[in-house]
Amino acid sequence: MNVCLNRQQKDDFMKRGFSRRDLGRVAAMIAAGAALPFWNEPAMAQLSAIRGPMPADAVKINANENPLGPCEEALAAVHKVARDGGRYLYEETFAFQELLAEQEGLKPGYVQPYAGSSAPLHQAVLGFTSPTRPFVTADPGYEAPERAAQFIGTKTIRVPLTSTYAHDVKKMAAASPDTGLIYVCNPNNPTGTLTPRAEIEWLLANKPKGSVLLLDEAYIHIAGAPMCSDLVAQDKDIVILRTFSKIYGMAGLRAGAAIGRPDLLEKVRPWTSGALPVTGMVAATASLKSKTVVAERRKIIGDVRRDVLGFLDAHGFEYIPSVSNKFMVNVRRPGREIIDALMKEKIYVGRVWPSMPQHVRVSVGTQEEMNKFKTAFLKVMA
């Protein structure tokens, strides 16, 4: 077995209903690289990844990226540290951990840095679910953790969103008395809609005993909604995910964190190992120190989003109101047809969810990119 798992952790794995074969598969996964089974070719296709070169003038609004890229402070930090890239520089990870903890009003032990938030998103499923402890998620919702559940044989329970496209917290709490992990992405991906803070608190107070709430706040800065790190400070059964891929424009640099009680983070931590990319760590620290980047980016993204949604209103297109950097538009036909038609116009948009087959997700790009989208969208919808 992989050295990342000690005897107690292996015993815990077996007590949760996994077989030795399951344990062997996960150990092999860790040895090969923790993302390997979840980011294979079909999974990448599902997440809107495109193989091969794009046209030079293509508009790529398919992956909820921030085309503004890293802020100037982050770029300067990356350039400065790159010459020392031959060293692990663990101290930069510690500096990031301590600063994020300080800003969240937490002790450093409540923050675990990662290269983005994908790893802890998958590994929380490994740590808190099992063949007897289901994984509960929204429908439609972000699919990545469900792939981890499928890999280890955990049952997934999908709960439809409410009529206002919020998480149906009451049905999620009642989904199974044996629930291991409840996943809430807020604002939600793909709909870009917000579940009120009071609903999150209700879910935390009424979830099945022994279960954990995994709150993904990847898009929270863009919405300007209240964050929930104070619930971590109260030692609740909650793990919060943060990423620098969205408002901070660092999707390719990779930096993020899991925030939670140390004993909960210990359930997530064993499934990965190794040094983190020092470029991502210093860029994240520099971004956190910036006093202007979040407010400036929120306004830029919000202005472009309001403009494109206003365009949809003006032309009578139906969409789901969003507070994030993406939206779902109803194309009133199989969504794949419109995706393919837009691709011929060199406009690359997102994907379709099985529960909403006539809706297509579109990321919010720059104003110039969205102007090109508007022209092409009118053409293919004519």
What pLDDT, in 10s, does the model give residues 293-322? 999 999 999 999 999 999 999 999 999 999
Which residues are registered as beta bridge partners of 215? 184, 240
Among 100, 152, 104, CA closest to 125: 152
In the Cβ-directed half-sphere of 301, how many Cα atoms lie within 13 Å?
Answer: 32
Q: Tokens 């930096």 — which residue?
A: 255
Residue 36: the pLDDT is 44
Residue 80: the pLDDT is 97
- State mean pLDDT over 189-210: 98
Cβ atoms of residues 215 and 241 within 8 Å: yes
Detail the DSSP E strand segments found in 122-279: 135-139, 156-160, 181-185, 212-216, 238-243, 256-260
Helix, strand counts (H, E) of the chain:
16, 12
The yes-or-no verdict on residue 353 having pLDDT over 90 is yes
3-state secondary structure of 223: helix
Which of 33-42, 82-91, 123-132, 241-250 is predicted least confidently? 33-42
The yes-or-no verdict on residue 221 having pLDDT over 50 is yes
Label residue 233 by pLDDT band (50, 70, 90).
very high
- State mean pLDDT over 367-380: 98
The yes-or-no verdict on residue 361 having pLDDT over 70 is yes
Residue 41: the pLDDT is 43
Identity of the amino acid at 265: L
CB within 8 Å of 331: residues ≥ 6 apart: 337, 338, 358, 359, 360, 381
Tell me which of 51 and 66 has the higher pLDDT: 66
Label residue 2 by pLDDT band (50, 70, 90).
very low
The yes-or-no verdict on residue 231 having pLDDT over 70 is yes
Q: How far is CA 309 from CA 188, 272, 340, in A?
A: 18, 41, 22
156-160 β-sheet, strand order: 111-114, 256-260, 238-243, 212-216, 181-185, 135-139, 156-160
The yes-or-no verdict on residue 151 having pLDDT over 50 is yes
Among 286, 294, 171, CA closest to 223: 294
- State mean pLDDT over 234-241: 98
Residue 1: the pLDDT is 31
The yes-or-no verdict on residue 12 having pLDDT over 90 is no
Residue 169: the pLDDT is 98
The yes-or-no verdict on residue 189 having pLDDT over 90 is yes
The DSSP element (H or E) to which 348 belongs, if any, is: strand 347-349
Residue 212: the pLDDT is 98
Tell me which of 356 and 46 has the higher pLDDT: 356
Cα–Cα distance, 221 to 324 (Å, whole number) = 9
Q: Tokens 């929120």 — which residue?
A: 298
Structure-token pair, residue 120: 């802890």
Greatest distance between any 2 Cα atoms in the chain: 63
Residue 8: the pLDDT is 65
Cα–Cα distance, 129 to 261 (Å, whole number) = 18
- State mean pLDDT over 80-89: 96
**Structural domains present in the chain:** 1-32 (no CATH), 42-68+293-381 (3.90.1150.10), 71-289 (3.40.640.10)
Label residue 29 by pLDDT band (50, 70, 90).
low
Residue 4: the pLDDT is 55
Tell me the pTM.
0.92
Cα–Cα distance, 216 to 324 (Å, whole number) = 13
Q: How far is CA 350 from CA 244, 295, 339, 367, in A?
A: 20, 26, 8, 18
Q: Tokens 């979830």 — which residue?
A: 207
The yes-or-no verdict on residue 175 having pLDDT over 80 is yes
Average pLDDT of the chain is 91
Tell me which of 21 and 38 has the higher pLDDT: 21
Residue 112: the pLDDT is 97
At residue 34's C-alpha, the angle toward residues 32 and 36, to 5°, is 70
Residue 297: the pLDDT is 98
